[in-house]
Structure 1
Amino acid sequence: MRGERNRAQSRETRSVSIIYEKLVRSILFRFDPERAHRFAMWAIESGLARSSPVEDPRLRCTSFGKRLPHPVGLAAGFDKDGDALNAWASLGFAFVELGTVTLRPQMGNKTPRLFRLPQDDALINRMGFNNAGLDELERRLSLRRTPIPVGVNIGRNRDTKNEDAVEDYAECARRVHKMADYIAVNVSSPNTPGLRLLQGPESLGTLLKAVVEASQDTPVFVKVSPDSTDDELKEVTDVCRSERVKGIIATNTTVKRTNLRSNAASEEGGLSGRPLRSRAEQVCKLLRTYARDELEIIGVGGIFTGDDLFRRLAAGANACQIYTAFVYRGPHAVSRILHELLERMDKEGITDLTELASRWYA
């Protein structure tokens, strides 16, 4: 009975998604990406964009100390200031990550700074941590009514030197930890000059020590770069374990460009979407090998389908996030991905997600 219901819901979701991809997306993609994003945020905030939830006990999982109905959350960057904080549950997300937020408001980089690569199912952004600042995010969080967990992704201001960055991050953590279900430390964005240097073991250790102390009992995650070498990822893992970090978010966007077909492929910035999938999955598997069961991993990067999600969970992720897939697949992206995941699980005879953990070290 449950299988028949899921198949019926899957067919319905697929039909609605096709309408979005063929009609609505084609209209949105005629507009400047940031203008289209503002319209999408308005539609989400106002409740015009909604999706049917996928409820199946086989999808339940646990991450950052929370029981989740399924493993798909919204990655940081889409709702930087929490504008649509109370609406994300209606789109089927199990959790949402706000930010990146900085201590003080900043405009970010000059426009244009967001580019679509439709032939590659990808985006390039060089936003530069544009956000309304910590005061405004605190205000939004104080009005929180959403039933789903909320993470806050924190970074340093562009005019803060790396040697002074610890206080930026620590102050952000001190002020949001009581209102956040976890805190994500962003030291891997390619769009803030010098930021990735904070991933070095000495700098990262000092930074994380301060953030973990400021966060008190709120779990802390570190978001890493897909462009790091395997040895650098091992160093990050070791630092995370020694500084009592809860886990790693793998990965941020990449500055590498390989076999892209779209006109905007040469634009500077971080690349996300399908071209990132292979490396992000590889990083997830490496981190799981390095960390064993001592750290949690939230997988992000190139997850578009249920098969992508299945592979990322099997590679070592406790939960996952999407961003670019939401842009390309629309408001029903989460439900469609979850139905596809259930179909893959049925095909392989997997009864729940805990069985995928047995593949982590295979």
Structure 2
Amino acid sequence: MSQDSLQQRAADLLQHAGIRIDGDAPTDIRVHDERIYARVFAHGSLGLGEAYMDGWWDADDLPGLMTRLLTSRLDEHLRTLDTLIAHFKARFVNLQRGEHSFEIGKAHYDLGNDLFQAMLGKRLVYSCGYWAHADNLDDAQAAKLDLVCRKLQLRRGQRVLDIGCGWGEALKYAAENYGIEGVGITVSEQQAEFARELCRGLPIEIRLQDYHELDERFDAVYSIGMFEHVGGRNYRAYFETVRRCLKDGGLSLLHCIGSNNTPARPDPWIEKYIFPNSMIPAASQVTAALEGLFVVEDWHNFGPDYDRTLSAWRANFDAAWPQLAADYDERFRRMWHYYLAASTAVFRSRRDQLWQLVLSPDGVPGGLRVPR
């Protein structure tokens, strides 16, 4: 197909999303390199993202453009071999078990604490904030941590497990405000080192450990923003681990992104550049994995709050870029912009959700009134 034909085909597709090539609207695409059309039609979302990283196109409102693309489902017209390979691997290959479980730590979470400290705000909490009564990122993250503690009904002296503890902020908050002692596990060396220093002087132990290895008892078990790295073939094993570690009468909370889509459909660009071996769960997968292990006491969706969280992260990242530029190049900056914009669009278009599930082993007698 000729260059002109490819460009016309692209223009016709984009018209369905209200996007023009080289138009004047903030959500219009400005093309700097005509090779973009062949690249995108050959490689779909992977080609679109790589072309942006290489400076082949721009948009004044990148999250807005990508929201239009997803809302109009134009991505479904660009399924390529790269897409099929990513979906095949996610469905049939267990990429989250054994040595593979540590790959995400090295590839993403060990990029540098300086990057995440600059982006995430006062607390290094790399998950959706709770904006019901907050008007800034720091307050939204504190509200989320407190919401988790209240849902779990944490009390002084309880022993709590944080699966995927990140930089230790959630355990620190719970120890300082609810008097608990805790164990946090992570697969990132940099996170573990930071968390140990952050929680120094508190009754908290931080381990570099795979959750499958856990076999000890806790009053409460939670996971915030980690389940996305578990993988569909391991969901049952994850919940079996939680059940094994949770005392009778205890509560567990799962905070994770959830998809409206069919299972095992990771994006090839995200898989390659941001979160290797990751998978967003579908509700059908979660409920099947829970059967016979837990009662779902509450299922809370506040996915739209991720739009505000990601927008705040991008503003922080841009403000810190003059300092970060000494360690990260321009292609990384564009890659990170694309990642945050694509993520914003996924939630703004309501393709993905943010779920908090409260679970009990045998059901709370009389039911559980879960706070909001």
Q: Same fold judged by TM-score > 0.5?
A: no
With the shorter chain as reference, the TM-score category is 0.3 to 0.5
TM-score for the superposition, normalised by structure 2: 0.32
**Greater C-alpha radius of gyration:** 2
